[in-house]
Structure 1
């Protein structure tokens, strides 16, 4: 008989017996979540950037001593000086007439005759993005009236507005493509339309409920736009996975001749229990992002944990009820030819062939798999973390085309290094002389350009010295210039001027360097947390010290391989034409931690699902070798189907416009593909056969751990 004492079994039995309550209760929960979310509203962060290091200290000084400013620039560029001057005058008049615009000037003239019309917008960031709309329209009219020259606007408000729209369009594309692709894959996996729809419905309803529920934690942890994206990405993946595990087991038991209700009970007691263990492990892994100390990671963690929790609850409550209602009608809408790749017992012919070969030569298979994984991981030894800069943004955006025109005429002016100094009076003769000395030395070094701009706060306690920097802001040229500025130029000039109490360097280059260094310092804490708690969860679940150690090693191998592929593709610049990007010489700084946490969590789904079946067979008295063969053959097609869904959804992100999304999509897709094939179908069974009974070794000192029976042999019933 099945083990009916675990929570999942009890929930499954209740759900199947009270199916109307379970289904309508779930629908009410989803609707209520959306209503609550709509009423409360998801709180967004006031500032979506985490400032750390010296650049963070500079931003704190600026926030305290300067009013909020939103600077915009309009470049007027052309061959005829008279046409340029006429367009400049037209631009000054047009923007000055707009509400919220102040401090208009046209003093900057480039060597090629181009002119910058600079102005500021009143209000905070949100107000500026609204105020810039009529300004952009006015600039477009100036361009139309002066067609012989180029007129374009770039600034914080105009760029944020354009990039937000581009982000939104990208995610709409991902959402639009992910649902039909997932449905098609599930139809192929089950060979029936109704069965394919069940996992998709749970995934979508879990995503909907989570999108509403995150409004609650957002009051404490404000969430950026990325939270909704991770909810869709992870929610669809785990929602489909969990239902897939459940539904496949129920179908398998029915094929063995077990009665409809009993098959649901067995699925609840086995796959349902595996879902709970997997879900808890994923949640623990996602919680590691809280330790990254960055509000973006915090938002991602809140979103991911919420949707995994909702999907986990739905899989053990409403799925049994849906299966109870559908009965054998779950096979409705069958596609006849799709069943030919699978045997009548549900096992995959392809994976059976692979597994038989692996188990015949386990040592050779294990060594070969490890060699391939290490070869894939090798490029990661030279991985370089960078933050995506302006050069990495899509060039088909008009605002970025304007940026390129400005940067061509005024190199480095849009991404200057900003030296922020604090003194009792930054206009004192000694400080002013030191500032002049810094300006001269910086330009003479050849690492910086002119003109240098000095902006003094109203209280005269702080000054910002903006020095246009060579390079694109994140490349080696810019980083070398930053090092020279911080270590030599500032120290020899304003850093030792009388009355100066602090001197910090900010700007894109400095913020990139500080943020990368910050994440490198936090990474060991995140990784250690995830590994420790994953080890403890698996130790308690399987009462073996070998199983969790091996699970961690296998997961680290698949993550390492993903890092290696990312480095080879994006840092070394392979497949640029195919994926539509230009290498920026590194991997985006936040991605390694994010990938580790997400992949470690999601890959544990497969690991727990497979090992639960193995332990179930061992508990029934089967030898470990036979249990491995039986369990992996029984679960291979399920794991493959779940992995294909994930790979397809993640791969969509590789087609988006922004390089960060491309890297995320490729990294996730490659890692899941490697994990579900090379690791789970080759390395896992090979190592389990080699270890034999040692797989279940538990030191005597730990025998006090509770023992969970995964299942006893069910008694076939045709009831």
Structure 2
């Protein structure tokens, strides 16, 4: 048998129950795999897939033992006025330190000793930098805990940290946490909540549109079934592939959006073509075969065109773009496969119910498509009669829509048009603990808040070398009056004296 969209459609329609059964098993396995594996496969980590200067510098620092593969988690405990001198508040800070210290020692590498710091700890810059540090207004204490870098390991203590946070967030005391492990867990939860909300709204709106278009419940729901199958199976595939590499936590949202859009679009096209063939007098299976020879073929090439376009994102050397491209390509390929096989099987099973007007939604409608004198008929004829007029008017309208991009000033006052880059903390919804912690950190500790984002400069040579010392002084002078930078840390030179780190 020659393999093409038409033969696939005819074979699937002749063995409809077998085809539906196979896809049902695949869907169940997909839901199972996504339920068990998908959450662990997602990450907020961002990395380059090539070897730019920043990565080369980081590798050099690790090789010279000037940087450890660790990550900090910042904690802020706030209280009433004068809390930092209150013995009861001091006891709470020390109790929180002990509770954090009691977590998995293979993950929690370094915890400050006590509050307030002893004179010996204050005299050690590296120890003192961890805190605890009282705020200038006497209402808060900040300290940093050093954790391993591996996100899988740090994820194991997030529940414990949440328990500690709840324990010390009572009365006038509030306990805030800010760092990669806790932020990652919260961003995943936000993503999952948005995914559920988006799926619900998207499916409801899609059903309403399909009912209006088809006037039949069965015909309207069929494209939705295709979208759900595409998303469910694709989530399972991403979950399984997550055992090999991590995906951006944005991927499920993109896959849901694209899975519904592509699944519904392809199904709408094929079902409409099938209904046309049925109205021309063809029987059920022959109408499916003819739609397979025309609409299915168009869907096949359309899908692979989309895949080729999405593959362009793989050229961007970052894990986020490659993850988004991979997830999108997977859901499109599955949507195409469903359109080639499952949809013809469903059309064979639903048969006349896809053609006849529904009892409720199709009452009083003939469901005739391409009716002469209808809105789309009149509009199409008008465009073909005066193509240049419509081309000029439409092009002018599109150019007018683009004017703000070229003329409006950016929010930061630099240049015009769209401001590009990372949106920062403002993009996080209000009420999210990570955003609350960041705001408290900036308000109570404006000079220490920069520790969450560190700029590192790698200079060849030893800090005792006059030329290197001169470069360090020039760097200190350049950032001295820049409010975006905190006070630089003392320079560190590798043991072999070949590299100096300024951060």
Question: TM-score by structure 2 length?
Answer: 0.79
Tell whether 2:436 aligns with 1:410: no
Tell whether 2:473 aligns with 1:437: yes
Give the whole-Å Cα distance in 2 for the aligned partners of 1:334 and 1:46.
46
Contact 2:31 2:236 in 1 (8 A): yes
Question: Which residue matches 1:390?
Answer: 425
Contact 1:42 1:219 in 2 (8 A): no
Match of 1:92 among 88, 91, 94: 94
Contact 2:461 2:500 in 1 (8 A): no
Question: Which residue matches 2:123?
Answer: none
Deviation at 1:269?
Answer: 1.1
Matches within 5 A, 1:430-579: 437=473, 441-442=477-478, 444-448=480-484, 450-454=486-490, 456=492, 460=495, 501=499
Match of 1:138 among 155, 164, 175: 164
Give the whole-Å Cα distance in 1 for the aligned partners of 2:22 and 2:476.
72
Question: Which residue matches 2:383?
Answer: 358
Give the whole-Å Cα distance in 2 for the aligned partners of 1:205 and 1:73.
42
Matches within 5 A, 1:174-573: 174-214=198-238, 218=242, 222-331=246-355, 334=358, 344-347=368-371, 349-381=374-406, 382-411=417-446, 412-421=449-458, 428=464, 437=473, 441-442=477-478, 444-448=480-484, 450-454=486-490, 456=492, 460=495, 501=499
Tell whether 2:117 aligns with 1:80: no
Question: Which residue matches 1:15?
Answer: 12
Q: Equivalent residue of 1:120, what SS?
A: strand
Going from structure 1 to structure 2, the CA distance change for 1:21 and 1:208 (only over 3 Å counts) comes to same
Going from structure 1 to structure 2, the CA distance change for 1:170 and 1:250 (only over 3 Å counts) comes to same
Tell whether 2:119 aligns with 1:103: no
Going from structure 1 to structure 2, the CA distance change for 1:253 and 1:143 (only over 3 Å counts) comes to closer
Q: Equivalent residue of 2:47, what SS?
A: coil
Deviation at 1:302?
Answer: 1.9
Deviation at 1:285?
Answer: 1.0
Structure 2 unaligned runs (5+)? 113-129, 407-416
Deviation at 1:157?
Answer: 2.6
Q: Equivalent residue of 1:72, what SS?
A: strand
Deviation at 1:331?
Answer: 4.7
Contact 1:88 1:115 in 2 (8 A): no
Give the whole-Å Cα distance in 2 for the aligned partners of 1:434 and 1:335.
85
Give the whole-Å Cα distance in 1 for the aligned partners of 2:359 and 2:492.
73
Going from structure 1 to structure 2, the CA distance change for 1:178 and 1:71 (only over 3 Å counts) comes to same
Q: Equivalent residue of 2:142, what SS?
A: strand
Structure 1 unaligned runs (5+)? 462-498, 506-719
Deviation at 1:367?
Answer: 0.6
Going from structure 1 to structure 2, the CA distance change for 1:434 and 1:392 (only over 3 Å counts) comes to farther
Give the whole-Å Cα distance in 2 for the aligned partners of 1:504 and 1:291.
33
Aligned residues: 461
Deviations 1:18-69 (A, max 9, x none): 3233333333444456677789989848882124754434433454433333
Question: Which residue matches 2:125?
Answer: none
Deviation at 1:82?
Answer: 5.0
Deviation at 1:193?
Answer: 1.0
Q: Equivalent residue of 1:371, what SS?
A: helix
Deviation at 1:268?
Answer: 1.2
Matches within 5 A, 1:624-703: none
Matches within 5 A, 1:560-639: none
Q: Equivalent residue of 1:453, what SS?
A: coil
Give the whole-Å Cα distance in 2 for the aligned partners of 1:452 and 1:200.
57
Deviations 1:372-429 (A, max 9, x none): 1122123334333211212332232133122112112333524544233355655x48
Deviation at 1:286?
Answer: 1.4
Question: Which residue matches 1:56?
Answer: 55
Question: TM-score by structure 1 length?
Answer: 0.57
Give the whole-Å Cα distance in 2 for the aligned partners of 1:234 and 1:362.
33
Give the whole-Å Cα distance in 2 for the aligned partners of 1:47 and 1:252.
48
Give the whole-Å Cα distance in 1 for the aligned partners of 2:143 and 2:32.
45
Identify, as 1 or 2, the structure richer in helix.
1
Deviation at 1:217?
Answer: 5.1
Tell whether 2:152 aligns with 1:126: yes
Contact 2:207 2:224 in 1 (8 A): yes
Going from structure 1 to structure 2, the CA distance change for 1:42 and 1:302 (only over 3 Å counts) comes to farther
Tell whether 2:137 aligns with 1:117: no
Deviation at 1:109?
Answer: 4.3
Give the whole-Å Cα distance in 2 for the aligned partners of 1:194 and 1:378.
44
Match of 2:24 among 5, 8, 27: 27
Deviation at 1:77?
Answer: 4.7
Q: Equivalent residue of 2:455, what SS?
A: strand
Matches within 5 A, 1:153-168: 153-168=177-192
Give the whole-Å Cα distance in 2 for the aligned partners of 1:84 and 1:238.
62
Deviates more, 1:221-230 or 1:371-380: 221-230
Deviations 1:141-200 (A, max 9, x none): 33425x1x6543323333333233222222222123222222222122211111112111
Contact 1:8 1:268 in 2 (8 A): yes
